[in-house]
A and B are shown apart, each in its own frame.
Chain A
């Protein structure tokens, strides 16, 4: 992998985008005078700084190969689940179920991914863990709000662990003529999903007028959505050379990633709105918590994985 020129180009491209963003951020900081504008620019610059850190961490994991990705996403799942469960009020009776969720289910799921055991990692949580969670809670004996509490833990494991684990699982796909190059698919998925988020934000901030779902998220606008989808789909199509797809196929898959990602962001916003908070946490400066950053990825990863698996393997 270390000599794959396409990977180097992807890296150079991402580095280039970050450099340009930082320069633009610095110029905006010097130019913008209004108080509200300065706050927006300060948040923008915090986000860009955090992007540098996230890209460097991801690059490091990538350099360590499949194991690096599994460890990184396993850690993100752990931190994401921690944020999710903190927000979803569980009860005393859930304590031991939660212990299993954090310290057994998360490592096991990522172990199955690393072991390339498709038949297990693709059903472990939706079958075995989904059945185990209510059993363990029932054994603890507290029936008050049982269904609701069970659903919270199941759903947390679904979005924070199961869905997210599909990103490193891309390493296990066997695509003819693409052996040993799957790391580029992970970069592709992350790049398209995150660029879609970024461009929805940019188009929304500049042109946004009409809200998609005003009761769920005031920052999601039709202008941002359509602009972000088109831009990210175009950029995704333009990355076809690093993938096993033709330009048209790449555009189609990018559209799938961006749409799934948008719905992921929407659903996770609805959960935040229900709990009365703005962010899941404060781990990543300017972005909020881990789940604020990977909400779109968590919906996009499994859909992208299964689309590629169905059509290309």
Chain B
């Protein structure tokens, strides 16, 4: 996979990205990484920053409409990132975004998701959408690992095409699980706090 190595190499040169775990031993088993969303490069950077053995079975979840708009994006999404593409807009029963995510989990893959549903404005992530709760309900015992991404918005700010080199970092925290009887609001709030706690 030359294209893959090239993409990973470029991301490393641009961001010198490092992964650090805080308050826990590294988790290597199947999980869902949920991260703050600041730049189109986030998913790619978190993915590239993971150790190779973990990265090979981790798939970023991304918007179908954005990543199929042209040939380059399609190629990157399919061949390089092996992304799980989900429908954001015209969601029907047949395009339920949960279906491809659950299918990926069932093959043993880990996922990278951005539960805000959009890029964060300012320094705090917005309210989480329900996606990760649905995943937790459908796959009991699934681990959710918070991932705080720092400084990548300066590498590729919204609306820019050309990236600028800037040191970025990913801080991963202790996994959380859906507890028995926990409400959707409580779980989403707990997840968001776990992510915020990783902010430097």
Q: Spell out A's residues near B (CB within 8 Å).
A: 78-79, 81-83, 85-86, 90, 92, 95-96, 98-99, 102, 281-283
Contacts and interface: CB of A to CB of B under 8 A. Distances in A.
B151 interface: yes
Interface in B133-166: 151, 154, 157, 160, 162-166
Dominant SS at the B interface? loop
B131 interface: no
Given A99-B162, A283-B16, A86 B157 contact: no
Given A82-B167, A95-B164, A90 B16 contact: no
A281 to B, nearest CB: 6
Contacts of A82: 16, 165-167
Contacts, number: 33
Contacts of B154: 86, 90, 95
Task: Give the 10 A-B residue pairs with the shortest CB-CB distance, closest first.
Answer: A86-B167, A82-B165, A98-B164, A99-B162, A86-B166, A99-B164, A92-B157, A102-B165, A95-B160, A95-B157
Given A86-B151, A90-B154, A92-B157, A281 B16 contact: yes
A98 to B, nearest CB: 4
A282 B18 contact: yes
Contacts of A96: 160, 162
B160 A281 contact: no
B9 to A, nearest CB: 14
Nearest to B159: A92
Nearest to A94: B164
Nearest to B151: A86
Most chain B C-beta atoms within 10 Å of own C-beta, residue among A86, A92, A282, A283: A86
Given A85-B166, A99-B163, A283-B16, 7 more contacts: A79-B16, A83-B167, A85-B164, A86-B151, A90-B154, A95-B164, A98-B164
Contacts of B166: 82, 85-86
Nearest to A85: B166
